[in-house]
Amino acid sequence: MQVLTSKHRVPPMGVDGETGVYRELMRNDAANEEDELGTSYRVTYDWEDANARVLAKRMKRFKPDVVYVWNQQALSKSLLFGLQAQGVPLFYDLHSNWLNEYTFESDPWFRWWKRNNSKRSRLYRVFLGLIGSSRRLLIGHPAELDLSYASVCSASLRDELVASGIAHAASLPVVPPALDTSRMVMKSQFQPARRFIWAGRLTVGKAPALALDAVRILKERGIDVSLDYYGVGEPLERKAIRDLIDHAGLGDRVRMQGIRPGELLAHYHKYDALLFTSCCNDPFPITPLEALLSGLPSILAKDGGIVEVVEDGETALLFESGDSYSLADAMVRMMRLPDGGEAMSRKCLEQLKARHSIDVVIEHVEALLTAATQD
């Protein structure tokens, strides 16, 4: 197997064991505004062409039996149409919503052909068509992609794809994410909840401020809790959360913790419960899955695919997405569990291991890949 991915690295120096990993593709979200991606034909074409050449070189040298597509969020969508035109078997493992129409329309190459309405650009598009040079690098609607061999991580994502106009996504099988539980630090001691953890990207969709507001509500009710943020984000995003903490007068209860990639697994077991506040219809978030598989009792927003694998009051506690009062009430419910949520956590862990162990999911993926190569 070979992996062709972007030049983006977390951490910047890469990770161990990268034999066969080629970090050569350019991400369009890493470009500066002055690069004129999506507005200048020449700049946009050169960008797309560079990525196309990288892919063509890798395909020629490796000659894969099947191409496994994971995520094209910030990568050239024209690569997919080019591969499809070659007739190479493609398998799409859809774990995020990058296939929706909005993401395609934000692609620089798509923007230039479909949405750049300047007079100069319109005339140039006509000229390129007349000389037969238009769309050397293919682009189209996501519904034009052949999803004969594909899977989705959740029914929630499948429904979203169908709603965005990809009707044939309705028949895609659900293959949920899997984690290697051997790397987990399992929680073994439980007590009535008082110490909570929030972890994730500090973006609007993840709603980190909601957890802070819930702590404020509990303080007003005379209930003492502590909350640690393990937030991944830009310096300005981290500063914004610190400012909110200071403004709310919660510095004695809420802390921002530093975290390096891959370190979070060593922290879940130290806390009494996870707060997951996403409100962006997350197809299947990994953070709560990690926490649940570490044995940590969790309070989850009714959002996206994660609610498909838990039951309120049985394997986790749920609250209304975007509602800090509902979250505060769920935190009180957790605090009132005399066993600290141990029974709930162990039941959840047993169910998740049966469905989300790496061996179980690999079997599903292998069968789908085999079918793609034997067509």
Where does residue 199 rank: exposed (0-12), middle (13-18), buried (19+ CB within 10 A)?
buried
What's the average model confidence in pLDDT over 14-24?
76
Q: pLDDT digits over 24-65, tens only? A: 999 988 666 567 888 888 899 999 999 999 999 999 999 999
- As a whole number of angstroms, the distance between CA 112 and CA 118 comes to 10
Q: Where are the beta strands (DSSP E) in the chain?
A: 3-6, 21-25, 67-69, 90-94, 150-152, 195-201, 226-232, 254-257, 273-276, 298-301, 317-319
pLDDT at residue 273 is higher than 60: yes
Which of 107-116, 164-173, 189-198, 201-210 has the least mean pLDDT?
107-116
Instruction: Give the per-residue pLDDT at 326.
Output: 98
Instruction: Give the per-residue pLDDT at 354.
Output: 83
| Banded pLDDT at 194 (limits 50, 70, 90) | very high
Using a pLDDT cut of 90, give the percent of the chain over it.
65
- As a whole number of angstroms, the distance between CA 204 and CA 196 comes to 20
Instruction: Give the per-residue pLDDT at 154.
Output: 95
**All structural domains of the chain with their residue ranges:** 3-178+363-373, 181-347
What's the average model confidence in pLDDT over 299-314?
95
Instruction: Give the per-residue pLDDT at 11.
Output: 56
**Tokens standing for residue 122:** 């319109």
- As a whole number of angstroms, the distance between CA 72 and CA 6 comes to 10
Helical (H) or strand (E) element with 149 = none
Where does residue 318 rank: exposed (0-12), middle (13-18), buried (19+ CB within 10 A)?
buried
In angstroms, the Cα distances linking 321 to 207, 318, 330 are 9, 9, 12
- Identify the CATH class of 181-347: alpha beta
Q: pLDDT digits over 66-76, tens only? A: 999 999 989 99
Torsion of CA 133, 139, 141, 147, to 10 degrees: 130
Using a pLDDT cut of 70, give the percent of the chain over it.
95
What's the average model confidence in pLDDT over 79-103?
91
What's the average model confidence in pLDDT over 194-210?
95
What's the average model confidence in pLDDT over 164-172?
91
User: Which among 20, 370, 291, 304 is positioned nearest to 159, based on CA atoms?
Assistant: 304
